[in-house]
A and B are shown apart, each in its own frame.
Chain A
Amino acid sequence: DIDDVGHKYYLELVLEDVLDKDSTVNCTAEVLYHLGNKNIAPDVQFTIEGELKNADEADNIFYNRIKSLEKELVAENIPDSHGNVSPEMEPIRLLAWVASGYVIWQNSTENTKFQLAQIKHVKQVKRIDEYLEFDYVILLHEMVSQEIIPWQMTVLWHPQHGVQVTRDSRQPKHASE
């Protein structure tokens, strides 16, 4: 408890590589949730002890594949209802996961617990520069309210420049039947 400021949490965590469960890295972090104004994202400071695995080869393969597509990539429902993701869509899903982490961070409070539930829709937007751009509509699941929240996010990515979310906005739940 920090008077007049907020609540600070000191965390020790272990990061696990999604693609290689045996590859782990220790991490320490400090998270500060601000008092009062719930529109400010929590402050996060972190230290990673060691190095994250290099993914250059896979990144470049994906990058070149998308760059060489004649028609813009379009897809829906990743994973599908049965939890399946086709191999070609796996990097699209991983990218959404990373980008949704940013959206979740920006919208988290001490009373929320968000997870990416599904990619409803993704459309590639062709660019003249070297970046790849994808327009996603994702569904976030919020644990406490149990709500499924559609969220639009525009994601830029380049193997050497990483991920950026340039635009994001909460979408209305479509009028439920």
Chain B
Amino acid sequence: LIPDVQELVDQSMPRERSTHRQVPEGYVYTQYHPMEEIYQWMTQIQKSNSELVTQHYLGKTIENRTMYYLQISQPSDKTKKIIWMDCGIHAREWISPAFCQWFVKEILQNYKSDPKISRFLQNLDLYVLPVLNIDGYIYSWEKDRLWRKNRSPHMNGTCYGTDLNRNFNSSWGSIGVSYNCSSEIFCGSGPESEPETRAVAEFIKRKKSDILCYLTIHSYGQYILTPYGSTTKPPSNSEELMHVAEKAAAALMGKYGTSYEVGSTSLILYSNSGSSRDWAHMIGIPFSYTFELRDNGTHGFVLPSDQIQPTCEETM
């Protein structure tokens, strides 16, 4: 199973473009899309790939919008291990949902022609949540491009938003957070206080014995981060986690020379508690990673759309 996980994280995009019959005609993956269009895209993707893709209800956001994930699963009589990937936990990181969409498209376009991909799907199911923080994402399109948190109201509606990546039940509230609603790293009123967090956590808890790998996609910084953020004490399978991440970073660099730094959040970035990646590992999911995509700060959150393709290709 380990080589499979390595390969999934390593794989680079095949060059041939097969027919785009399986993906929505005219959907432009090299541009950013508003939530309306992403909802439509999910419906379309399932319709045109119904032998492989099913759309599932995950939960509701604080503003009562529906959260869906896509399950990419080749029919088989054996139970397969699961790789979970979520994008868009932070509203302003637009390259992240763009990557999730790209990823799905790549798998669906190439699973018949690419032996690596078809081998995965024989042994693994892919679960992709293209936008976790839907309300925040919409807010960043309509009101404030640099919004980060969700849109939960606090203090009688005078202050909004919890940082969903500080809201998970992993040493919640202990370090690298604020208890003040006006902060960008406000951890919420308690662990899993936010419906978005609960929707993801409850699902993952239910399926945890089958989940091999938890991936959460962010920007920016160009890092592959391993647990933990809340402590410098290394996780039990630290060597293996690092080994796989290093192979992924090397493969990524091989594409366009982009360099990613690899390591535990608390050592190479900053301390934080309540992250989804830490939580996933703490409940027993062996491989848990945060990807911080391009760039290094030149454009930061406002990454030009002409970088969507190279970013996605190298990350693929």
* Interface residues, chain A, with chain B CB atoms under 8 Å away: 18, 77, 79-84, 115-118, 139, 141, 143-148, 173, 176-177
Contact = CB atoms under 8 A, between A and B. Distances in A.
A84 B304 contact: yes
A18 B297 CA distance: 12
Interface of B: 31-32, 141, 143, 145-146, 148, 159-161, 163, 178, 182-185, 221, 270, 297-307
Nearest to A142: B184
B109 to A, nearest CB: 25
A147 to B, nearest CB: 5
Contact of B299 (A83, A147, A148): A83
Contact of B304 (A82, A143, A176): A82
Contacts of B184: 145-148
A115 B297 contact: yes
26 contacts: A18-B298, A80-B302, A81-B302, A82-B31, A82-B305, A83-B299, A83-B302, A83-B303, A83-B306, A84-B304, A115-B300, A116-B300, A117-B146, A117-B301, A117-B302, A118-B145, A139-B146, A141-B146, A143-B221, A144-B270, A145-B178, A146-B184, A146-B185, A147-B183, A148-B184, A177-B143
A81 B141 contact: yes
Given A117-B300, A117-B302, A176-B159, A146 B145 contact: no
Nearest to B182: A176
Contacts of A177: 143, 160
Q: Main SS of the interface on chain A?
A: loop
B160 A79 contact: no
Contacts of B270: 143-144
Nearest to B151: A177
B146 to A, nearest CB: 5
A79 B32 CA distance: 15
A110 B237 CA distance: 31
Contacts of A80: 302
A16 to B, nearest CB: 10
B154 to A, nearest CB: 11
Contact of B163 (A79, A116, A118, A146): A146
For the complex of A and B, list the 6 residue pairs with the smallest distance between their C-beta atoms, beginning with the closest: A83-B304, A146-B184, A115-B297, A148-B146, A81-B145, A83-B302
A118 B302 contact: yes
A124 to B, nearest CB: 23
Contacts of B163: 146
A10 B216 CA distance: 35
A81 to B, nearest CB: 5
B35 to A, nearest CB: 14
Contacts of B32: 81-82
Nearest to B95: A83
A90 to B, nearest CB: 12
Given A144-B270, A145-B183, A176-B160, A79 B302 contact: yes
B267 to A, nearest CB: 15
Given A115-B297, A176-B160, 6 more contacts: A81-B145, A83-B303, A84-B304, A143-B221, A144-B270, A176-B159
Contacts of A82: 31-32, 302, 304-305
Nearest to B161: A176
Contacts of B182: 173, 176
A173 B182 CA distance: 10
Contacts of A173: 182
A23 to B, nearest CB: 16
A151 to B, nearest CB: 14
B92 to A, nearest CB: 9
Contacts of A148: 146, 184
B312 to A, nearest CB: 15
A77 B31 CA distance: 19
A133 B298 CA distance: 24
A47 B314 CA distance: 35
Nearest to B221: A143
A81 B139 CA distance: 12
A146 B270 CA distance: 11
Contacts of A139: 146
Contacts of B221: 143
Nearest to A174: B144
A79 B307 CA distance: 14
Contacts of B161: 176
B301 A141 contact: yes
A80 B302 CA distance: 8
